[in-house]
Amino acid sequence: MAETTSILFVCLGNICRSPTAQGMFEKQLAASGLVDHVRVDSAGTGEWHVGHPPDPRATEVAAEQGVELGSQRARQVTPADFEAFDRILAMDRANLADLQAMAPEGSRARVELFLSYARHADVDEVPDPYYGGASGFSRVLDLINDASDGLIRDLRSRLVE
């Protein structure tokens, strides 16, 4: 079976939350047996960090959990992404609103909050950690871990009979 679905994680800068989501989700995907059936990428609604590697604070916190972010480079969301991906998963409501505003009429992607897949979180947005300290990055990783697990469960129920 070839690739059967595609997911784009989106935040503001594409250097903290969405690269962490891509890395964590890819790690869980590798253990799930679904890796050949899901294409994953991340992007930002903003353009400031295009071409930059993930924030070193995000890379460090992720590495402590065995999640590798180092090879990612930031890019900005484009209108073509709404045809190229089945699901576009926003980290917070501002990202969601920006995505909804730029979605071409009738495009294919389902645009959702990523934490709608979380099973334990008491919030529905991944807070922007950029101007905070290290604990904010740990919180981001925990929320993303939870939602990644829920997303794998959702995909497994759809992709595997």
Q: Contact positions toward ligand 4NP, by CB under 6 A?
A: 11-17, 44, 48, 128, 130
**Least Cβ distance, residue 128 to ligand 4NP (angstroms):** 5
> Catalytic pick from 17, 81, 92, 98?
17
- Concerning whether 149 is annotated as a catalytic residue, the answer is no
Alpha carbons 21 and 127: distance in angstroms, whole number: 13
- The answer to whether 95 touches 128, Cβ cutoff 8 Å, is no
Beta carbon nearer to ligand 4NP, 16 or 115: 16
- Concerning whether 11 is annotated as a catalytic residue, the answer is yes
Q: Which residues pair with 44 in a beta bridge?
A: 11, 76
Beta carbon nearer to ligand 4NP, 6 or 14: 14
Q: Which helix (H) or strand (E) holds 94?
A: helix 93-102
Beta carbon nearer to ligand 4NP, 39 or 75: 75
> Catalytic pick from 81, 92, 98, 128?
128
68 CB-near residues (< 8 Å, 6+ apart): 23, 27, 62
- Concerning whether 158 is annotated as a catalytic residue, the answer is no
**Least Cβ distance, residue 17 to ligand 4NP (angstroms):** 3
Phi and psi at 38, nearest 5°, equal: -135, 130
- Catalytic residue numbers? 11, 17, 128
